[in-house]
Amino acid sequence: MTFRWWERWGALTGALAIACWIVAFLIASSNPSTTDSDAKITAFYTSHSHQVHQIITWFVFIAGLLLLLGFLSALRARLVVAEGEPGRLTALAFGAGVASAVLWFIAVSLFSVPALAANDTGKFHLDPNTYRLVQDFGYMAWVGAVIVAALTVWSTSAIALRSGLLPKWFAWIGVVAGILQLFAIFFIPAFIFWGWILVASVLLFARGAAAQRPGPTAPTG
C-alpha cells in the first residue's frame, strides 16, 4: 500500500521542494550584500532576530533538499522504466541531481554560517571581509549546483523524447533550460531550474495518476 501511494504521489515532492525554497528565499531576502558597507554587514549580524531568521532559513531550505531527493527518487523510477536497461541516462540524471543537492547544501550552509556563529557564542565578531569571502564561496557552490543539474534536465529530456514519458514540448523546453543553466553565474538560471522541477513534478504526477486510473469495466454475460 505504501509503495502504491509513493508511485502516485511521490513526484509531487518536487513541487513541495520548490515551495520550501521560495519560503526560505523570502525569509533570507534581507541579507546584506557583499557590496554593502562594513558597518551594515556587522550591524546585521549583531541583531538576534536576523540571526534567528538566517538559521530558520537554513532549516527550511534543507527541508526542501530532502524533498528534492524524494523527487529525484520518483523521477529515477519513471525514467528507468521508460529508458530500459542498462539505464545510463537515468543514472546520469539521478547522480547529477544528488550532486546538485550536495552543492546546494554547501551553499546554503555557507550563507547561514555567520548567523549561526554569531548566535552560538557572544565571543564571535564577524569580520566583513571574511563574510564576503564566505558568501562568495557559497555563491560558487550555488552556481555549481545549477550547472550540474543541467545534466538531470538534459537526460530527462533525452529519455522523454525517445519514450514519450513527458510531453515533447516539455522535453524541448528542458533542452533550452539546461543550456541556460550553464549561465547560472547570473543567478536567474537557478529559478529556471526550479521552474523545471515544478512543471516536471506536476506532469509526472498527472501522467502517473492517469495511468493508474481504472478503465471502463467490460460488460459481463
Predicted confidence (pLDDT) per residue in 27-40, tens digit? 886 788 888 888 88
Q: Residue 64 is part of which domain span?
A: 2-210
Q: How many CB atoms lie within 10 A of CB 171?
A: 21
The number of distinct structural domains making up the chain is 1
Domain assignment present for residue 218? The answer is no
What percentage of the chain carries pLDDT values higher than 90?
63
Dihedral angle over CA of 196, 65, 112, 103, nearest 10: -70
CA distance 65 to 101: 6
Q: What pLDDT sits at residue 218?
A: 41
Query: Band of the pLDDT at 103, cuts 50, 70, 90?
Result: very high
pLDDT in tens, 120-141: 877 778 888 999 999 999 999 9
For residue 217, being part of any structural domain is answered with: no
> Which secondary structure element, helix H or strand E, spans residue 82, and what is its range?
helix 48-83
